[in-house]
Structure 1
Amino acid sequence: FKSICVADRPIITPFSFPTDLSEGASVQVFCAISKGTLPVYFTWLKDGKTLRETRAKITTTDKFSVVQIDAVAPVDVGNYTCFAKNLQGTDSHSVMLEVRAPPRWLREPSDVSALLGSQAVLSCQVAGYPAPKVTWSRITDGEPPVRLENSQSLTAAGDGTLVLREVSLPDRGTYLCEANNGVGGAITNRVRLLLNGKESNT
């Protein structure tokens, strides 16, 4: 009488990254098998490419593999896939890592000079996660900022630009760009619209 040994392919226990991870936090995930004939070999991919240990530390045993990142940053955002393989087959599991990061300037806003009747584009380029919402306001001395909404004469685009289609004298002055995504505090910057290179009095 001979005993029969049934060999099984690996089965990965589902796992996930913690939610609401903020920039600078440490994180680790375990990719473990619930069954599978040893030896089992583990590999990790990030966005379809081999995960390199430049930012992530990988620790592997015969039944599980751990990815650890000491201080997560926006560069770590992506899709992480664990593969478990033995002679009988392969299993995989993918999870998304998202990092909450406060708004930051990609490019500091600068003053814009325009000719009367021409189009003027004021730019407010920011990054962060979730994607920051950019709002524009008009500033007049002694008055609270006035929020600008889309109209026939101007468009506040989703990419952070403010487009004034035909610049007139009342358009010159100071504009306030504000970016906020609920992580940390909002960031603001002032942009002056000058006409013919002349500084506004407002």
Structure 2
Amino acid sequence: MKLVIFLSFFIVICFGQEAPEISPLAITDSFSEGTKFLTTCFVKKGSKPIFFQWLKNGHVLNEDDDIKIDSLEDVSLCTIKHVKPNDAGNYTCVARNAAGTDTSTAVLNVKVPLRWTKEPQDIIASLGKKLEVECEAFGVPKPSVKWISSKGALIGNKLAFNTIEATDEGSFICLAENGIDEPLKKTISVRVNNAPRIIASAHRVFESGSNDRILCAVEKGTQPLYFEWKKDGIPISLSSFPNNYEIVDKAEMSLLHINNVKIENEGNYTCSVKNEVGFDSVTVLLTVKMAPKWAKEPKDITVTIGESVSIECDAIASPKPIIYWRHLNTNDLNTNEITKSKVLKINAVKKSDGGKYECVVSNKNGDLLKKAISVIVSVPAKFEEKYALINAKSGESAKLSCNAIGDKPLSVTWIKESRLDKRGGE
């Protein structure tokens, strides 16, 4: 009898309870990584006491340092202090009492800013080798990755070369995007390891006294590049060559400065460049343009008749000077002209060889240098007849003749038996 009464009482109590009903969970937005997340589970109706429980992806959600669950009579709060990427998922609030259970589920999306996990870098590739460039990014939602050439052509999600060629050089863009964050973009250059090649240079002409330079530029070649200059096959050293040389090396060029250009700077200049792959060189002929100037200036000269004489006339110029002599006493410009010689030679000088001579220096630039000198022919005093025998009778008059030639003035003196005859005579 007592058992029947108890069961009847229990049935009355249970049938008087109301099962809980939850308002839908509202997670309307995505949360950025590191921000605070809070969602509330409200019970619209239901008999108390009500017991709450939270699930994530169908598993019981336990509290820790970052996750906090606070429940009151008809409400429960789930708080995540700092949202992490692995916090994303389906969150379910479970409310139960003696009469029943209700649930509500919402999705938490965590926005993770895009970041490189394998950021591509500039590449120096070897000819004929295989090449694959990695590019990976992380974010929530998961980003897609694609490669684009510098010309805008879509390559795909991998940048790969089975056999690298020189024509594969260029710029490439890795683009990672997930439709939410600002896309990640990285431009890299793919350079093929090339031997250097120098741009050819033309013959150079510098003015004497000017400040000028010779450029050695590389049109292609993998850096680092190492330059060297030589003059006529000998390495240029600032200690062993004139101090008017100055070398300035840059990444893809070398400049040889020549200050106060001199005739000694003429010659063949060779620029050579090398890297880990190969070597190249180019030679430039440098000509110095200089008007003639005397190296040995001719001067007036006196020569004795019958002797031979050599008169030197020398000059320096660039282009190389042409030197010749001419006798100004005649209209024939070829008189005594010495071809391809700097020396005027007159053998067995005659009286008629005396006069004005001019040394003429010229070059292909039309420059002209001249110097006129006097050649004075000296004739020493000389008797036309040195010995004569005169016969005379005692008491008669005798006439002795003394005919002398030579440069004026001439002085004639008579000597008798080694004594000076002060009377003189004809």
Query: Do they fold alike, i.e. is TM over 0.5?
Result: yes
| Gap change, CA 1:165 and 1:48, over 3 Å in 2 | farther
Residues 193 and 222, structure 2, Cα contact 8 Å, conserved in 1? no
Query: Matches of 2:222 and 2:25 in 1, distance apart?
Result: 58
Query: Is 1:125 aligned with 2:136?
Result: yes
CA displacement at 1:75 relative to structure 2: 2.4
| Matched residue, 1:67 | 78
1:45-87 residue CA offsets vs partner (Å, 9 max, x unmatched): 1122222323222111121111122332322211111111222
RMSD: 3.1
Query: Matches of 1:79 and 1:30 in 2, distance apart?
Result: 14
Query: Is 1:178 aligned with 2:168?
Result: no
CA displacement at 1:174 relative to structure 2: 4.1
Q: What does 1:1-202 correspond to in 2, within 5 Å?
A: 6-54=16-64, 55-110=66-121, 113=125, 116=128, 118=130, 120-138=131-149, 145-150=150-155, 156-157=156-157, 161-165=158-162, 167-181=164-178, 183=180, 185-193=182-190
Query: Matches of 1:165 and 1:10 in 2, distance apart?
Result: 66
CA displacement at 1:19 relative to structure 2: 1.2
Residues 193 and 200, structure 1, Cα contact 8 Å, conserved in 2? no
CA displacement at 1:101 relative to structure 2: 2.3
SS in 2 for 1:146: coil
SS in 2 for 1:170: helix
CA displacement at 1:16 relative to structure 2: 1.8
Q: Give the number of the structure whose alpha-carbon radius of gyration is greater.
A: 2
Query: Matches of 1:81 and 1:114 in 2, distance apart?
Result: 57
| Matched residue, 1:142 | none
CA displacement at 1:97 relative to structure 2: 0.4
Residues 42 and 75, structure 2, Cα contact 8 Å, conserved in 1? yes
Structure 2 residues not aligned, in runs of 5+:
1-8, 196-220, 224-426
Residues 21 and 100, structure 1, Cα contact 8 Å, conserved in 2? yes
Residues 100 and 129, structure 1, Cα contact 8 Å, conserved in 2? yes
Name the structure, 1 or 2, with higher relative contact order (CA <8 Å, separation 6+).
1
Query: Matches of 1:45 and 1:56 in 2, distance apart?
Result: 12
SS in 1 for 2:154: coil
Instruction: Give the letter aligned to residue 51 of structure 2.
Output: Y
| Gap change, CA 1:117 and 1:33, over 3 Å in 2 | same
Q: Give the share of equivalent positions with the same residue, in percent.
A: 31
Figure out how many residues of one structure are paired with residues of the other and give that number: 185
Query: Matches of 1:78 and 1:106 in 2, distance apart?
Result: 23
CA displacement at 1:103 relative to structure 2: 0.6
CA displacement at 1:179 relative to structure 2: 2.1
Please report the TM-score for the alignment, with normalisation by the length of structure 1.
0.73
1:138-179 residue CA offsets vs partner (Å, 9 max, x unmatched): 3xxxxxx333314xxxxx12xxx3344554332244433232
Residues 174 and 187, structure 2, Cα contact 8 Å, conserved in 1? yes
Query: Matches of 1:176 and 1:109 in 2, distance apart?
Result: 9
Structure 1 residues not aligned, in runs of 5+:
139-144, 151-155
Please report the TM-score for the alignment, with normalisation by the length of structure 2.
0.38
